[in-house]
Copies of this chain bind each other. A is one copy, B any other.
C-alpha cells in the first residue's frame, strides 16, 4: 500500500472494468478503499462486481470500509461549509472522503456570503469544529468570511461553478489564494477529495489521548 491504510483511486478516465480489477486487488491489502469521480453508470457496473461497496451519487464516490473502528478520530469534527446547491458535488466529495477516512463531519450548506446572517446563525457550530473545509464557486468569498470567524485551520476548495468571467474556477481560486483572513490554505479547483484528505490529516493530529502515532495511522 502506497501511503497508509486507506487507498484512494482517481476514477476519472478509467473504465468500470479497470476500476473493478484495481479495487479487487486493493481489497486484499487495505482496510478502506475510496474511488472518486465515478459516474452513476460506472457505479452500477462496479457495484455488481463488488456488492460490498457503497456508492454516494452526489459525491460521485464508491467506497468500502472494514469494521475495525480503532482508527476513528473520536474527538471533534470537521465542518464542511458550502453556499448553494451547485457546489454540492464538490462539498460531498470532501465530506464523504473525510467520513470514509475516519472523521465525523458536520455539513453546513446553503450559507453563501450574499446572505451573511444564515452563515452567522451557524457560527458556533463552525467555531467548535477542529478544522473547516469551505467549498465555493463563483466569487469564492466564503473562506475569507469563515476564516475571520474561526481560529482553526481552514481548507478552501474553489469550484468551477459559474460562468463568464469565472473562467472555469480561476476566479474562486484567486480569491481564496488572496484571502486577507489568516489560516486559510487552498487546494486545486473542484478538488473536494484534497480538501477532505487534508482536513483528516489535521483532525488526526488533533486527537488527544490514545490517538495512534502519526506513522502508523491513516494515510
Contact = CB atoms under 8 A, between A and B. Distances in A.
Interface in A175-191: 175-191
B187 A185 contact: yes
A218 B153 CA distance: 12
Interface residues of A, number: 81
A177 to B, nearest CB: 4
A198 interface: yes
Contacts of A85: 14
Interface string A140-170: 1100110111011101001011111111111
15 contacts: A113-B181, A114-B144, A114-B179, A115-B148, A116-B145, A139-B144, A139-B180, A140-B141, A153-B201, A165-B173, A166-B174, A166-B178, A175-B175, A206-B206, A208-B211
